[in-house]
Amino acid sequence: VVPLLDVLAPPACAACRSPLAAAGPVLCPDCTRALPWLRRPCPFCALPSHRAGACPAQRAAFARAWAPLAYAGPARRLVQGLKFGARLPLADAMAAQVTAGLPPDLRTGTIVPVPPQPGRRRRRGFDSAELLAAALARRTGLPLWTGLRREDAERRHTRGGIAARRRRTPALVVEGEPPPLVLLVDDVHTTGATLEACARALRTNGSRRVLAITYARTL
């Protein structure tokens, strides 16, 4: 019996849309092979390489950052699919890629998702960092804590661009007592500014140590 959904929408690769032989995996074999794994990234900023003394995380509030993949190729398309597609199977596939090479020191602690901007979550009804964090918690068996919230007003900076976004510091609210050892989870590590703001808020409110896990690192 062929499931009705497969007749309507045959399973396709989440990155290149080529048809898949069977439902289950989200990537075709070619895209799976093309995943841009990061080998030996810097333990502090997760970049694969930078000049000595030029680590962008030198004075970061998070003690360490790690990502399994570069934000490129099929990894980038999975992130985009998760953002705009509300797809739980994608979140689980990404969590599987994270746990596959998760360093031992990032296998203890409490998973805390980077909170979405309130307006953004309301519009989409879901949030990719939350989906990824929940999938990671399921796969690792680690507890999930969702007391970190972002309360900045919903404002789009279409004209100010990146400069305006950098100037804005998100108002983060910590509800209750945050866990002592935090594994902060986001989909993409770009400048590190969001991770920094979250780590600072958690530590100000009692967390002893914050370690950042993202699915992909912008190079």
Binding-site ranges for Zn ion (CB under 5 A): 13, 15-16, 28, 31, 42, 44-45, 55
The residue behind tokens 């930078």 is 50
Check if the beta carbon of residue 106 is closer than 8 Å to that of residue 161.
no
3-state DSSP call for residue 99? helix
d(CA 162, CA 134): 29
Q: Residue 190 CB, nearest distance to Zn ion (Å)?
A: 14
Task: Give the shortest CB-54-to-Zn ion separation in angstroms.
Answer: 8
Residues 6+ apart with CB under 8 A from 167: 160
Q: How far is the CB of 15 from Zn ion (least distance, A)?
A: 5
Q: Give the CA count within 13 Å in the CB-facing half-sphere of 32.
A: 10
Least Å from the CB of residue 58 to Zn ion: 8
- What CA dihedral angle connects 164, 162, 191 and 107, to 10 degrees? 80
* Nearer residue to Zn ion within complex by CB, 16 or 142: 16
- Would you say 76 or 149 has its CB closer to Zn ion? 76
Q: Return the number of the residue (42 or 94) whose C-beta is nearest Zn ion.
A: 42
Least Å distance, CB 44 to Zn ion, is 4
Do 98 and 142 meet the contact criterion of CB atoms below 8 Å apart? no
Q: Is the CB of 127 or the CB of 186 nearer to Zn ion?
A: 186
Q: How far is CA 9 from CA 2, 12, 20, 75, in A?
A: 12, 8, 11, 23
Which token pair is 4?
A: 């009705």
Minimum Å gap between C-beta 96 and Zn ion is 16
193: left (phi over 0), alpha (psi -120 to 50) or beta: alpha
Nearer to Zn ion, 14 or 201 (CB): 14
